[in-house]
Amino acid sequence: MHRFANPARFQRLASIILPWSDVLTAGLLVSGLYFALFASPADYQQGETVRIMYIHVPAAWMAMFTYSVMAAASAASLIWKHPLADVAARAAAPIGAGFTAIALITGMLWGEPMWGTWWVWDARLTSVLILFFLYLGYMALVNAIENPAAAARAGAILALVGFVNIPIIKFSVDWWNTLHQPASVIKMGGPSIAPSMLLPLVLMALGFHFYFVSVLLRRMRSELDLARVRALEDAIALNSEEAAA
Amino acid sequence: MTRTLFALIKRDLNLAWRQGGGALLGTVFFAVAVVLFPLGVGPEPNTLARIAAGVLWVAALLAAVVSLDRLFEADHDDGSLDGLALLPLPFSLVVAAKCLAHWLASLLPVVIISPFLGLMMRLEGDALGALVLALLLGTPGLSFIGAIGAALAVGLRRAGALLSLLVLPLYIPALIFGVAAVEAARMGLDPAPHLMLLFGATLFAVVIGTAAATAALKFDLE
């Protein structure tokens, strides 16, 4: 694993992966959107609004997947002090927050025609909203600490605490939901989903994953470049100080 | 070892209670926050009884967050945290003792005045008892979970707003189980299952809060 701790090796690897993941992202999203918007049937109950699902469901999956990636990277950073793991966790957070926001917004847009309201305090919606706040808290903490090493360490601890707490929060929200309102909401999907709808969903989900890889690698690269710029600036400042002395 | 820990708790309590410690500020905040609600929603007894559990619990969570900045900040600023790290004790025990002292100084008073505020919010009989019991079992967890946020934000400027963003989402289980216990009692049901879950969440908070806060502070001390 520490083979990839070398930033130069990572940059080389990233430049190999990036073209592939870019092409796959574009291909999967374009074909996924074609099937989602044109080549799949409208739902017999939900009509055309069912097409929101092809964005909404993959975004919700990615919201959880990204937090798992962050937690795994944070664990690697704390346990093995792997320098790139810090960068990865930090770079993943805004992407995850973005997916979570997309899931929430498309959920509201879908809820309005389906349930007649923009927001339902459904257990799932509420959990995703809380996940959004966990992302925001992580980003706020990491940005508030100036020393990069301290920020990475604090962020890693917070991400892991959040990860361990997510099942408990989820459980408590389900508990709360069953107490306050019996399932008034149409339960989505189930295992039986028509193949014509499954295909665009899978294409979009895969497209979202490769999009995540592309953006994550780019963000990690720019973080590494930024670290290098900072180091160079420090060196120049030190030199001019010595020259002045 | 036990004696050192007791001395540590006593020290923190003294610091909190003496002048400038501001231990009761959180409690006063709790009372004021609760009193604002009848003014906001009107004094109708049924409405108040319906929202009482939620209002009291949310106010308790906020009172906990407001008092968290004192948990490690002062010791960090004057350097005594470095001294505490040199005690012949595992540092996690020091952290746990400080959390316990925080609960005793800042949140136990909240539990003590809660029956009076509960009565003013028109909670009666079993529901009032369930409220006090729920707060007693649940608030220690607030100190320990809060310690994570306090340790991560130690030494930061404008830590207050950041702390609430870090800590409040993690308080949600305590809020839900705590309110559920009071509501069950109000409906004439048995609050015990909710109280057990609440105390389970507290025990979990003690473990994870101590471990995470210790890890965060250790790095700060390096």
Least Cα separation, residue A128 to chain B (angstroms)? 12
d(CA A177, CA A190): 20
Report how far residue B144's alpha carbon sits from residue B102's, in angstroms, rounded to the nearest whole number: 9
Which of A196-200, B30-34, B114-118, B206-210 has the least mean pLDDT? A196-200
- The 10s digit of each residue's pLDDT in B159-197 is 888 999 999 999 999 999 999 999 999 988 899 999 999
Provide mean pLDDT across the span B55-59. 96
What pLDDT does residue B40 have? 92
**What is the predicted pLDDT for the residue at B21?**
64
Question: What residues contact A84, with CB distance under 8 A and at least 6 apart?
Answer: A4, A5, A7, A10, A220
Residue B102 identity (one-letter amino acid): H
CA atoms within 13 A on the CB side of B205: 28
Q: A113: distance to nearest CA of chain B, Å?
A: 30
Whole-number pLDDT of residue B20: 67
Chain B positions touching chain A (beta carbons under 8 Å): 148, 152-153, 156, 158, 162, 165-166, 168-170, 172-173, 176-177, 180, 183, 197, 201, 204, 208, 212, 215-216, 219-220
A110 CA to centre of own chain: 21
- The reply to whether residue B219 touches residue A150, judged by beta carbons under 8 angstroms, is yes
Low-confidence ranges of chain A (pLDDT < 50): 182-187, 189-191
pLDDT at residue A8, rounded to an integer: 80
Give me the residue from A157, A168, A176 closest to B216, CB to CB: A157
The verdict on a CB contact (< 8 Å) between A176 and B166 is no
Topology, domain A22-185+192-215? Four Helix Bundle (Hemerythrin (Met), subunit A) (1.20.120)
pLDDT at A185: 45
Per-residue model confidence (pLDDT) at position A184: 45
Domain limits, chain B: 2-221
Which pTM was predicted?
Answer: 0.88
Percentage, residues of chain A above pLDDT 70: 91
The token pair that represents A64 in the structure block? 């959880």
Judging contacts by C-beta atoms under 8 Å, the chain A residues touching residue B183 are 179
Q: What ipTM, to 2 d.p.? A: 0.88
Q: Tell me the per-residue pLDDT of A98-130, one tens digit each, with 9 for 90 and over.
A: 999 999 999 888 888 877 888 888 888 888 999
Q: What is the pLDDT, as a whole number, of residue A176?
A: 82
- Say yes or no: A137 contacts chain B, CB-CB below 8 A: yes
Question: If you average pLDDT over every residue of chain A, what do you get?
Answer: 85
